[in-house]
Amino acid sequence: MLFDKMPDKNFYFKNRENVKWKCPGLFEHDKALFLLHDICKELNIQQPISFVFGGILSNWNGGRPPQLSTITEKELYEIFKNYNERNITCYLTFSNYNITKDELDDKIGNLVCKVMSDLNSNNGVIVTSDLLSNYIREKYPNIKQVASVIKPHYEAPNFDETPDYYNKLSESYDKVCIRPEFNVQIDFLKKLKHKDKIELMVNQVCFKKCPIAKTHYDRSAIKTIDELNDSNRIRFCQKKSNDIQTYDQHLNNSAEQIDKIIKLGFYNLKLKGRGASPNTLLSSIIGRYIFDPTGYFPILEDYILNKLDII
């Protein structure tokens, strides 16, 4: 039988069993993530994902080009409910820093917030702009908010923020994603007062203290469909994602570094990867960071990918 060797308990290393993983894939690979959850439930092993995030074409979108250009209210309800019924919380990347007052009436952004607010299931948004954050807080008070990892690129462009910067953000936001440069700075992490509110991105492949990161985010926030076509996307980055292992200035954390982070009591870990194929998402991102320490992912992988008809 395919799963004869699968354990029914103690699937994760003891120090990782409390980690709450936030993964990409919302609006992109919903079918794959639903299937992954359902298979884990069938096998009586801990579900791997607590949160999922993604973007939609909106004046509020930021960070990376959105995965979805249009959606109906009915479809939004269905997608969110399917995740929430699996105890997976959804987050929208509304992390455009340069939002104006006129853009607060964005149709798609408000529709998403309305649906989230109606469901009242702890779904939330990832924001950079204080203007947008205050607007959502006032109009949709039950929506959770995460301060985006992009925020300090605008507010501390010289990478000189202190632990107090994040401590103050933690008083205003439900969670705060810190810049990956600080993931390995133990003394810095120890000075963060609200560990339960701190989120760490552990697979960032950008350069340390990248000098063009802010420009990258500015250009990624361009919102027209034409400018989101592949031929017009940003081409000026200093590295290629497939060269990640060939240079030593990337921000990708090793398994040993992640274990140190967890040992310090930081359990909210985030995986980037919007725009990845379903195979890459399951194998190179979720498989590598969540399942690989268990040694059982190869058994799950073929089964899941076969179910999805992508191998």
Contact 269, 22 (CB under 8 A): yes
Please report the pLDDT score of residue 251 as a whole number: 74
Cα separation, 291 vs 299, in Å, equals: 11
> Which band of pLDDT confidence, cut at 50, 70 and 90, is reported for residue 254?
confident
Give domain status of residue 6, yes or no: no
CATH number at residue 176: 3.20.20
More confident call, 73 vs 216? 73
Give domain status of residue 310, yes or no: no
More confident call, 225 vs 275? 275
Please report the pLDDT score of residue 234 as a whole number: 46
Average pLDDT over residues 260-289: 87
Please report the pLDDT score of residue 13 as a whole number: 57
Give domain status of residue 204, yes or no: yes
pLDDT in tens, 43-98: 777 788 999 999 888 889 876 666 667 789 999 999 999 999 999 999 999 999 99
Give domain status of residue 259, yes or no: yes
Give how many domains the chain has, as a whole number.
1
Cα separation, 71 vs 47, in Å, equals: 28
Considering only 13-27, 96-110, 147-161, which range has the smallest mean pLDDT? 13-27
Dihedral (CA of 177, 183, 185, 186) sign: positive
More confident call, 105 vs 289? 105
**Range(s) of the domain holding residue 268:** 14-303
Give domain status of residue 308, yes or no: no
Does residue 247 have a pLDDT over 70?
no
